[in-house]
Structure 1
Amino acid sequence: MTLDLPGLTGGALEPEGRLGRGRPAGHGRRLICDRVWPAGSGARVARATAGPPAPGSTWALLATRGAWPGSVRRLLGQGRARQLAGGDVVAWRLEHDPVLAGVDDPLDEAARGPGRAGGARGAIVAYKPLRRVVVHFAARQGGGRFVKHVRPGHARALADRHSLVARWARTAADLSVPDLVGYGSAPDFLVWRGVPGVTLEAALRGSDPGGTIAAAARCVASLHLCPSALPRQRSRAAELDATASWISIAPPGLFGGDLLHSTLADLAALGGRIPTARPVLSHGDLHDGQLLFSGHTTWLLDVDTLTLAEPELDLGNLLAHLDLLRLRRPELAPLRLDERLVEAYARSRGRRPDAGRLAWYRALAALRLSCVHAPRPRTRRHASALAAWSRRLTPEFRANREELAS
């Protein structure tokens, strides 16, 4: 990201899906930028305020082109945002966002605790207003550290979830998790040691994509075998609500007609007819970016999201992301990676996932992904294909309901 002029004039944003930060000349204010709906290539910050930001202010900028996204409209309605001159940028002050408290400070001096890294300069890699921000502090050697700032009062519970799976991973041959260096409160944060490895997409470019998928399946199966009495549970209703939230901020008529709402309604009706399964310890937000591969080691990231859920939740999420990856890379289609994933999971866990539940979670995840990726120029057409695939799946469900429920 470049923010090269006072008042933020002419600052260009990073590629879609990335977050960055900058210091506008003469002001020294931290900025967090994200590209949102429907930010096409070339979107730019037109003009900002007449004068510099107020001292101590942190601003988030959302560059858009065309209709406002529902998320921005929501912020405007809450009075937390305001439209800047030029009509294509919204900014809101975030100095009162609790997850941002201390983002400038926490890693300045090693003596102040495990969240500090001796003045190292970090890069924001993820940010969700009012919920979390993740900062990566690189090291000259190794993977550095990742610091996650979370809502007040949440760090201890997240650390406990990580410790639960970390103890299990010490005895599990196919599952590894990064070391939790420490955590703190006021502000709440957690610090993980960076680990080596490449993402699933990068690993599939190697000489043994089938072996990579099998390793991913064994990793997930190992997590699902971990004994746990975790009270937190993720229900089908919660998955439907999460998908409905994404649909609610999509422009009306996305992908044509009422495809999103009608597909969600069909999936909601079907979800009440498919038998439930005993919940297992699950990641809860599993996708291709949560797995890293390094030699014979498979790392599972962000296990602080752990929950109890039907095993098909994690598998369905991962399969939907594989579907998107296959659309982006057609050469992967003949490899039948989805079938290999399910087969390897069944061998490792000693139990096949239920076909009906797996297809339901997969279709629901594909519907969500279509909303997530539609704003991004490079994946917009793939998002449309995902939505259409999810829609085609629901009549198949209805026609084979008895078979799927058996």
Structure 2
Amino acid sequence: MTADGLARSATPASLAIPATGVGLARLLADGVPVAGDRCAVRRAWPADLADPARGYVLELQASDGRVLGARLCGNELEIVADDPVLPEITGLVADGWRVLAHRAGKRAVLRRDERGSFRKLATPKATRRAVARADAVERLLERAPGVPRPPARTAVDPDAGSIDLAPAPGRSLRSVLADGPAEADGVLPAEVGRRLGETLAALATVEPARSADLDALPRHTLADEAATLDRWVGAACALAPVGRPAAERLRAEADDLIGALRRAPETPSVLGHRDLHDGQILVSADTGLTILDWDTAAWTDPCLDLANLLAHLDLLVTLTPSAAAATRAATSAMVAAVAAGGHPAASHPDRLDLLRRGAALRIHAVHAFRRRPRAPGTT
């Protein structure tokens, strides 16, 4: 298929594009020219944290909204449409499904239409692991009245590596806080914050009904959190276009936080989402909250989810100053509800602050591999 065909086709074949002299920093800032279109680089990941020579996996977005997986290695950029690890993606696109996310060689998310179901694709091994974890989460949430359930699974095919999910109503918390006025659809930031705080407090009370439930989810300790931070900061310093002075500052700050996390005493674990942020929470005036993507659920520190969410809300205000007032209202109400519900984080403000700072630094490292919007007034 020609490059022009790539621009027109709903099922483009893989295409290699010379990228001589173009590094990741340039691609993140300027995008990728593909068949007369300029695709934005939404996200990037090191192909191998231990081997910089293997390059990067990219997720591109065309001007018409289509998402394309890609790889950058040396002087060659490859658009990955026919993903051998996720072979089902090609047929689904041909049948009219729209790719929403694609990390080539690892996972993808598609949707049939604007109101239809979602399909998550991964390797069979990863899919079986996700299904087992989802089963455990659903059993545990049955013991937590008032905690929102994840979207229903409507079909599962572990051998094909696919999970279908029913659509969930509402807008993301990020949209509610940033795009307002939230009052237009009956969703008030303070009310959303209160619901979130009550949800987090209820999650902290969930106990396994049997030992199998306890064993069905992994444990994620503060030492594990320190290792995660270390891994991402190491990747950002070695592989992301952050520059040497910035990398040295990032490494020094991370070392202090990693040491503090490793020295902090462990506390009894609670059921945690582990990736709770403002894009994972859907808000609806009619149905309340829906929390998406429990794929990383674990028994973890009581402060971890709240700290991660607060760090993401801090980032939202930094990137979207107009969201500051709504975010403050939601955050204040959430923290008050957490305290009123007896959540352990309310009694350990220093621990919450440590995890919040660690989450903020990890997010900073992750975002070193993502498209950075130009500042207002720049060209």
TM-score by length of 1: 0.69
Structure with more of its chain in helix, by fraction: 2
Q: CA deviation at 1:270?
A: 0.9
Name the structure 2 match of 1:45: 33
Unaligned runs of 5+ in 1: 1-5, 10-21, 49-60, 109-118, 382-406
Show the 5 A alignment for 1:41-120.
Answer: 42-45=30-33, 71=47, 74=51, 76-77=53-54, 90-91=77-78, 97-98=84-85, 100-105=86-91, 119=95
Determine if contact 1:291/1:301 at 8 Å carries over to the other structure: yes
1:319 to 310, 313, 318: 310
Match of 2:145 in 1: 172
1:359-370 alignment, distance < 5 Å: 359-370=353-364
Q: Residue 195 of structure 1 is aligned with which of 163, 168, 173?
A: 168
| CA offset digits 1:32-85 (Å, max 9, x no partner) | 99x96453554332689xxxxxxxxxxxx9969xxx98559957438996658x
Deviation at residue 308 of structure 1 after TM alignment: 1.1
Q: Residue 131 and residue 318 in structure 1: after superposition, are their counterparts in 2 closer, same or farther (change >3 A)? A: same
Please report how far the alpha carbon of residue 243 of structure 1 lies from its aligned counterpart in structure 2 after TM superposition: 2.7
Task: State how 1:4-403 maps to structure 2 within 5 Å.
Answer: 7-8=2-3, 23-24=6-7, 28-30=11-13, 37-40=25-28, 42-45=30-33, 71=47, 74=51, 76-77=53-54, 90-91=77-78, 97-98=84-85, 100-105=86-91, 119=95, 121-138=96-113, 143-169=115-141, 172-204=145-177, 205=180, 206-207=182-183, 208-228=188-208, 229=214, 230-247=216-233, 248=235, 249-251=239-241, 253=243, 256=246, 258-295=248-285, 296-333=287-324, 335=328, 337-351=330-344, 352=346, 354-374=348-368, 375-378=370-373
Residue aligned with 1:304, SS: coil
- Alignment coverage as a number of residue pairs: 330
Identity across matched positions, percent = 23
Structure number with higher relative contact order (C-alpha < 8 Å, ≥ 6 residues apart): 2
Tell me the CA shift for residue 297 of structure 1: 1.5
How big is the shift at 1:210?
A: 1.2
- Name the SS for the 1:124 alignment partner: strand
- Partner Cα separation in structure 2 for residue 278 and residue 317 of structure 1: 18
Q: Are the aligned partners of 1:176 and 1:297 in contact in 2 as well (CA < 8 Å)?
A: no
| C-alpha displacement of 1:290 | 0.7
Distance 2:138 2:364 in 1: 33
- Relative to its length, the structure with more strand (as a share) is 2
Q: CA deviation at 1:293?
A: 0.7
How many Å separate the matches in 2 of 1:63 and 1:301?
Answer: 24
Question: What is the CA deviation profile of residues 240-274 of structure 1, one whole-angstrom value per residue up to 9, with x for unaligned ones?
Answer: 33333333222353673611100110011111222
Distance between the aligned counterparts of 2:154 and 2:343, measured in 1?
A: 34
Assess, with a 3 A threshold, how the Cα gap between structure 1 residues 273 and 169 changes in structure 2: closer, same or farther.
Answer: closer
Q: Report if aligned partners of 1:320, 1:363 keep a CA contact under 8 Å in 2.
A: yes
Q: Say which is worse superposed, 213-222 or 361-370, in terms of deviation.
A: 213-222
CA shift digits 1:337-385 (9 cap, x unpaired): 444322212223454252122112111111122233344332779xxxx
Q: Does structure 2 conserve the Cα–Cα contact (< 8 Å) formed by 1:38 and 1:376?
A: no
Equivalents in 1 of 2:283, 2:56: separation in Å? 44
- Contact 1:156 / 1:183 at 8 angstroms: preserved in 2? no
Counterpart amino acid of 2:319? R
- Aligned mates of 1:26, 1:193 — CA distance in 2: 28
Alignment check: 8 A CA contact 1:174 1:297 kept: no
Question: In structure 1, what is the Cα distance between the partners aligned to 2:275 and 2:356?
Answer: 13
Farther-moved stretch of structure 1 (323-332 vs 298-307): 323-332
Separation (CA, whole Å) in 2 of partners of 1:39 and 1:163: 40
CA contact (8 A) 1:216 1:341 kept: yes
